[in-house]
Amino acid sequence: MPELLDFDNLVAQFEQRLEHLPDHRSGKNISYSIKDAALGAFSVFFTQSPSFLAHQRAMETSKGRSNAGSMFQIEKVPCDNQIRSLLDPLTPRHLYPVFEAVLLALEQAGELDQFRVLNEQLLISIDGTSYFSSPAIHCAKCQHRTSAKGETTYYHTAITPVIVAPGHSQVISLVPEYIVPQDGHAKQDCERMAAKRWVKQQARLFKPYSATLLGDDLYSNQPLCALILAHQLHFIFVCKPDSHQTLYQWIETLAAGDDLEQVSVRRFNGRFNEIVTCRFVEDVPLRAGEDALLVNWCEITVTHAKTGQQLYYNTFVTDHRLTQQTVIPIAEAGRARWKVENENNNTLKTKGYHLEHSFGHGQQYLASFLLTLNLLAFLFHTVLELVDAKYRLLRQALGPRQTFFNDIKTLTRYLYFDSWQHLLDFMIKQLELELEFDTT
């Protein structure tokens, strides 16, 4: 595998990128570097230990060295308040090249091949998520809503795209897009506008028509779909009758005339037999008007083969061509959009990353900068799960994710390790595990 995908080299490359972070300080009080502040925050997210830096400062005092230095290249460990102060003026866009570098390394290593479906397509699921909410604390980047009682809530949201694949438990985090008030716009920003910005900025990372965007009904509108096609990407979006009345008038008329094609397959899902049925049609208007974008529509229904119970139902629009052979794989690709919620947002909120916890709000960019570091920690863990046999062995042996990270917290508090690999080797030895090597 390329050196970049080894954790110690991942951190080294990350550190090099952080060397270029701007320093907005004008005084002489520069005891701590901006780079160390960013690496310090990242180390907390990566180890999932809120007290990691405090423990490393204590180790530095008693032993003259610490895991913060050996594993995360932190030269001088700052405290939490210093980190917040140093990072607040920094836009998260300074960190975006790290996502791009990791994606390129995964591509070069062939690790993205297992995610390709639909004739070598990468599926990119997009969805919005909230990561801060308060009735009092706010900044210029906050959105707000006012209840009928006149109570105002301030909040931050973002879209967090990930590469997904049906049947694949991992997701690969991509650059987020923050939903914030835009200069020159009177209206609040929204998820749709953020999605448009993301497409314009990130489509260049993918070969023409090699990636398909997945999303819920919010995204199946003509401006966004047309923009996606203009940037040489594909789309498969949920499409509901209530929000697409013209399209469904066409569907009802075609169905009444028996002009919808249909295909069914029976298959074993690992527990029981199920029936997958798709109805579909091509070239129907996404909206009213002569300039309406023509899309392809499909409906998927999954039922229990024995009981007839409906297990799943949804409808999608896409620009992919639909045939008797392609419609079921395309519908199942669309179904994979839920992974951005279950495997990404829910994991970030409930599996130790504490996405909705306020690590610091700040007055400029702190909340979004810290979230970006948290997403990078999640991405680094995904890379290790894909390419590091030692990491996978320990995760499998220790069972629950929390057990693994609790052990990391305890070991790094009391013991010094030369590197991340040294820590993994120590854990494998103490657990008396055997690492299998592929000799083919």
CA dist list (Å): 186 to 64, 152, 158? 54, 18, 19
The whole domain housing 61 covers 1-111+359-432
Q: Is residue 16 part of a domain?
A: yes
Q: Is residue 236 part of a domain?
A: no
E strands in 286-404: 294-304, 310-318
At residue 220, the pLDDT reads: 95
Q: Is residue 204 part of a domain?
A: no
The pLDDT tens digits for 101-153 are 999 999 999 999 999 999 899 999 999 888 777 888 877 777 788 888 888 88
The pLDDT tens digits for 307-363 are 999 999 999 999 999 999 999 999 999 998 886 555 555 565 555 555 555 577 778
At CA 284, angle to CA 278 and CA 286, rounded to 5?
Answer: 105
Q: Is residue 391 part of a domain?
A: yes
How much is the average pLDDT of 70-81?
A: 91
Q: Is residue 282 part of a domain?
A: no
At residue 304, the pLDDT reads: 94
Q: How far apart are CA 188 and CA 180, in angstroms?
A: 7
158 - beta bridge partners? 129, 178
Q: Which residue shows structure tokens 């789309």?
A: 235
| 3-state DSSP assignment of residue 152 | strand
Q: How far apart are CA 208 and CA 203, in angstroms?
A: 9
Q: How far apart are CA 215 and CA 333, in angstroms?
A: 11
Question: Chain-wide mean pLDDT for the chain?
Answer: 89
Q: Is residue 255 part of a domain?
A: no
**204-211 long-range Cβ contacts below 8 angstroms, 24+ apart:** 205/100, 205/103, 206/122, 206/233, 208/232, 209/233, 209/234, 210/120, 210/121, 210/122, 211/121, 211/122, 211/123, 211/124
- DSSP letter at 121 equals B
Strand bridging mode 162-164 / 211-215 = unpaired
In the chain, the largest separation of any two C-alpha atoms, in whole Å, equals 81
437 pLDDT band, cuts 50/70/90, is low
Q: How far apart are CA 417 and CA 71, in angstroms?
A: 8
Q: What are phi and psi of 279, to 5 degrees?
A: -110, 145
Sequence-distant (≥ 6) Cβ neighbours of residue 440 within 8 angstroms: none
The pLDDT tens digits for 3-59 are 568 898 899 889 999 999 998 887 666 788 999 999 999 999 999 888 999 999 999
- C-beta neighbour count of 208 within 10 angstroms: 9
Q: Is residue 4 part of a domain?
A: yes
Identify the burial level of 284 via C-beta atoms within 10 angstroms of its C-beta, where 0-12 means exposed, 13-18 middle and 19 or more buried: buried
At residue 440, the pLDDT reads: 41
100 pLDDT band, cuts 50/70/90, is very high
CA dist list (Å): 71 to 5, 14, 39, 46, 419? 15, 12, 10, 11, 5
At residue 215, the pLDDT reads: 95
- What is the torsion angle, in degrees rounded to the nearest 10, for the CA atoms of residue 65, residue 66, residue 69 and residue 75? -60
Q: How far apart are CA 277 and CA 303, in angstroms?
A: 8
226 pLDDT band, cuts 50/70/90, is very high
Number of domains in the chain: 1
CB 300 within 8 A of CB 312: yes
Report DSSP letters for 237-275, one per residue.
Answer: EE--GGG-HHHHHHHHHHHHTT--EEEEEEEE-SSSEEE
Q: Is residue 375 part of a domain?
A: yes
Q: What are phi and psi of 179, to 5 degrees?
A: -95, 100
The pLDDT tens digits for 157-180 are 899 999 999 888 889 999 999 988
At residue 343, the pLDDT reads: 56
Question: pLDDT: is 182 or 13 the higher one?
Answer: 13
